[in-house]
Structure formats: structure tokens, C-alpha cells
Amino acid sequence: MLVGQIEEIVRHPVKSFRGESVDQTKIMEYGLYGDRSHAYLDDTKKGNFLTITHFPEMVRYKAEFIGEESMDKYPEVNVTTPEGKVVDWKDPELIEEIENKSNRKISTIDYSPSHVPIGPIAVEHILLATDASLDQLKELWGKEEVDSRRFRPNLFISLQEKVPFIEEEWIGRRIKIGADVELEFVGHCKRCMIITVNPDNAERDSSLHKTVIQERNNNFGVYASVIKTGDIHVGDEVHILN
């Protein structure tokens, strides 16, 4: 059954940095190609990942791959700083800047194109959200526009029938995207303080999280695991299979 189409595909080459919107990519066994494949480690916390939770301004740094996807090695990863400077993600000056701003000592880690462990991705392979749910949340919050980037979905679906939170009813079911890709919905996404951080200026507003807790039992978006890999494109149809 046709339920919608892919409106946006977002991957995050560097964990907790702003992601890049792409027209097409591969779905690997671990999720989107290169998603959270590079990360900064917080050496003050025995190697835990440095995330927005500890350093909210990470949302103002945008990471993107420069070049074509390859299974041998990742393309270069460029970072655009809040001031508009473009540097390599391992640039010593960038590392020093992040350390000074976060008051932490950091190091880098990256994985192979064939495998990114579940840790950097957080919970499951892929996070999905729908336009109808985002629109409904805007009404529930009643404060300002709700930027989808706050929720960091990999796949943003435009629904045929605009039924808010219908994706939560798909948990336990499978969908097909385009010609090859199949995903299985496996659970709700429990939200944390990250959604309180404005992706443009890193300012925090706890009222959005309070709204999600009160109105949606702290759920927004659903996780999916990869059943069949393949290529996906913006505009691909999304079908429920069972």
C-alpha cells in the first residue's frame, strides 16, 4: 500500500554535527551510507562521544562529504563552522576551537564505509519522521515553527494521507522504499534534551521537550532496522508491505 514518498534524506557524516541533505544515497546494513561514520571522542569522559548533550553548539557546525560515495573509503569530510569557515574535520585549528569552546579534550574516530557500529548511531539504524506529525507538533507546541533538524531524522516522509503520528502504528511492520530497500519499524524514538537546542543558534528552550513529554509520552519519530539494502532517492515511493 502506498503511504507516501521520501521528502528529504539527511545523513550526519560527523556525529552531533548538523547533517547534510542529499538527493540520493545508499542504504547500508548499518543505515545511511556514512551516517555517524566520524565522531569526536570526549577524552575527559574516558572516550565517550562528544555530543550536543554536552556541547550544544555542535548543531551550528555542518559536516558534509565532498566527492562520490565509495566502498573503499569515505570521501573527504568538510566542516563549515558557525562563522562560515570551511575546513577538514580533523583540522588542528578546528579541534582546538571545539576543545576551547567545550572545555574538553577531544580526539577523533572514524569507521569504514562497510560498517558503522550501533553506538555512534545511538539506538537503531535509521530514524524516520513524517510531515503530518511535525505539523501536529507545531500546533501542540504553539510557540514557533518546529524545525525538523531538531529531531535529526534520516528520512522525512511526506504522507499521502496526512494522519499525525501514523508511523507509530507501523511499528512491527515493514516498508519498501523505491525499487529495493526494505526497512522494519522497531520502536519509538524517546527524545532527550537535544530537541531543545535551536539548530541555527544553539539556544535552548525546554518547553518543546516538555510538550513532547506531556502530549506524546516523550515519543517523536520511529526507529527502523534495515532488511534489504539498496539505493534510495528523494521522491521515492514508500509502501507498507505487511
pLDDT tens track for 57-95? 999 999 999 999 999 999 999 999 999 999 999 999 999
Contact (CB, 8 A) for 38 and 238: no
Give the pLDDT confidence score for residue 121 in this predicted structure.
62
Q: Find where cell 571545539 sits.
A: 98
Would you say residue 222 has pLDDT above 60? yes
pTM of this structure: 0.94
Give the pLDDT confidence score for residue 124 in this predicted structure.
81
**152: nearest Cα among 8, 4, 6, 2:** 8
Q: How confident is the model at residue 119 (pLDDT cuts 50, 70, 90)?
A: low
Alpha-carbon span 130 to 116, nearest angstrom: 25
DSSP 163-214: -TTGGGGGTT-EEEETTTEEEEEEEEEE--GGGGB-TTT--B-HHHHHHHHH
In order of 2, 14, 82, 222, the CA distances from 40 in angstroms are 40, 8, 17, 26
Alpha-carbon span 134 to 129, nearest angstrom: 8
Give the pLDDT confidence score for residue 217 in this predicted structure.
97
**143: nearest Cα among 195, 105, 70:** 195
Would you say residue 7 has pLDDT above 70? yes
9 CB contacts (<8 Å, ≥6 apart)?
21, 22, 23, 24, 25, 32, 154, 155, 156, 232, 233, 234
Digit-coded pLDDT (tens) for 123-180: 788 999 999 999 999 999 998 778 999 999 999 999 999 999 999 999 999 999 999 9
Give the pLDDT confidence score for residue 111 in this predicted structure.
95
The mean pLDDT value for 192-209 works out to 93
Half-sphere exposure of 55 (CA within 13 A, CB side): 24
**62: nearest Cα among 82, 45, 34, 35:** 82
Strands 181-190 and 219-228: antiparallel
Is the four-CA dihedral 159, 163, 167, 169 of positive or negative sign? Answer: negative
Percent of the chain with pLDDT over 70: 98
Report which DSSP code applies to 44: G
Give the pLDDT confidence score for residue 145 in this predicted structure.
79
Mean pLDDT of the chain: 94
Question: With left for phi above 0 and alpha for psi between -120 and 50, is residue 103 left, alpha or beta?
Answer: left
Q: Find where cell 510557540 sits.
A: 143
Would you say residue 120 has pLDDT above 60? no
Strand partners, 97: none
Would you say residue 204 has pLDDT above 80? yes
- From the CB of residue 23, how many other CB atoms can be counted at a distance below 10 Å? 10
